[in-house]
Chain A
Amino acid sequence: MSDSSISQGAAITLNKLTKRYGDATAVDAIDLNAEPGEFLTLLGPSGSGKTTTLNMIAGFVDVTEGEILVDGKPVYALPPHKRNMGMVFQHYALFPHMSVGDNVAYPLRQRRLPKSERGRLVADALNKVGLANLSHRMPRQLSGGQQQRVALARAIVYSPRVLLMDEPLGALDKKLRDSLQLEIKRIHAELGTTFVYVTHDQDEALVLSDRIAVFNQGKIEQVGSAQDLYERPSTIFVAQFVGESSLFHGLAVDHGAGKGVLSSDRTLHAHRGDARTGAPAALVVRPERIRVQSIDGTAPSGNAVRGRILQEIYLGNSRKLEVELGDGSKVLVRESAGDVTANRPGDLVWLTFRAEDAVVLTSNESPDRPQAADDHVPVFASH
């Protein structure tokens, strides 16, 4: 038991990690690694395999295939209690028959630390989470937020080199979540421990993480920093799951140095894109990168699509417009409070955006938009 309060986080490597339940594959041969001291978030909808992955790292779920390495050493043979990891659970999982102090001291008791040192470390951990004087309370006497802080203290008290968190804020309300997020970030910076954090909340992931792995149907769609995922999504799923996106469907075409999307009535271009030429694809733009311009005869140059504003959602610091396109699909446009135009629901407008703000990505679904010539008639006929 080293007494260094700055524990160095461990490196975690997942190689072709797979979990199958009968015929169902929960986790499908994923490769992922966490650098020492990194804050890595596993983000995805429920059932995407992120929690199963976390449970395999903790040792609660047997691995079907593949391996888990901690600092290069496989942990396959180690039961959970010998992996020396910390974990925070969604519903706190505090021992209801032990006081706050005893809960936090529990890992130290298992490690047979002398009583005096236990007391010091417990006080230390409770201090870190801001609960210094609640040591004698019982868990049920605490609020949800306080209980989760105790759970956090229990997980960090023995300075584990890896801290796993399974939707730790999922049971709390929005305000509390926001303040605890900042605290978790602070504690991570203080400890230097490797954090693996599971959540389905993309805002949370963006706030906390060094890197985010986006899970979908047992596979990892993309791994990258918050900025990578937001500005350079590599799949449509990521584009839609992380932040909001407006999609323009069509067939991929080559366009100069970049890519383009050809639809029935226009070709749109993007500077980036990986969709195979001729394949169904979507051009993805973030709503705040789209400008709205009223139709006054002259078509704007560059990327421009006609549409009709369906509704307006007022959000205080911005407004969101839902716009129906000629092919019947709907896209979102966000205008920040300083740039709100005079366009109103019912108006026909031009949507414009720059090619450098757009990316063309393969649609896994075949374009379900009708390609017939008369498809845009309902929108445009009224003028």
Chain B
Amino acid sequence: MNPTPSTPTPSTASSASGKPKLALYWAASCGGCEIAVLAINEKILDVAAAFDIVFWPCVMDGKVRDIERMPDGGIDVCLFNGGIRTSEQEYMAQLLRRKSKVLVAFGSCAHEGCIPGLANLSSREEIFQAVYGNGQSTENPQELRPQVQTHTPEGEILLPYFYDTLRTLDQTVPVDYYLPGCPPEAENIWKAIEAIVSGKLPPRGTVLGPTTTVCDECPRKRSEKKIQQFKRTWQTVPDEETCLLEQGLVCCGIATRAGCGALCPRVNSPCIGCHGPNVDVPDFGARMMTALSSVLDANTPEEIERILTEGIPDPVGVFYRFSLAASLLRRSRLRKKEVGPGGNGGNGANQPTGSPAVEKASAARR
């Protein structure tokens, strides 16, 4: 089960069929990354010409069995999007890690959890309650919940086990490269593919993108900032020239890795941080908080708290919209009954015969 330690230099040497093998997979994601791959338009034909696409469940038929039968390292490049929320996704992450020479965390979900990671503010039971219990369009008087194991006359039926906490790909298996963005922009995808094809790859562990922030790509005029009030996007129509932060909007461009060309600020909408933190930043939200504190124009606790309560009623959602799962704290605190082996969020399988081998294989990077 152990992911094969990768060789130090990535190689996309030709396989027997002459072309390097490419796999694309999705886990806990929305499907936008799959569409983003197609957004490179006609260049997808170049991808098909350069690679032998062996596995891409979203667009073509393929069987997990065929991947399992491949030799370890048999896939040259795997673009993996989505976070890890279920046992099945963790299994696929381990499988594709083992079979791939180069594993790319593709898009914000695999990179840092993204929107699915915001559900780390809830426990499994709370999520199930919202989805299968008291959802507005849900009628479930018997309080049915998905079961990991169901006995039927024909035999056992298994469903994946749903985790309390969504993990990023690199908290699950070692990752070679990261392509940021929700979704990654077409030109950045193409640049990454070109780099892979030509073998001109940076050191392993690199996020494929610039090492500066969105502010550097933003054409708006900036001056010294003094913020007396944070406004929410529906409360104001910002002028189109001045820095959005100066106009009181929480623009995450100050902390977000560049590479998008400041797409959102250019259309009068604040950056929401989908490219994640800049290089060497362990916690995106910490950067946001420390930067905003410097420009807040208030010097008493009461005044500060008033500005924050009125302007940022959901601090985790604002500071960690894309990066909660990858942040230092990873999730909100679970209540007592939910912590540790005692917790059973109505997901009903037998308790644990934990195998150290499996645990080791899935040990988080940090």
A, B bound: no
What residues make up the interface of A, taking CB atoms closer than 8 Å to B? none
What residues make up the interface of B, taking CB atoms closer than 8 Å to A? none
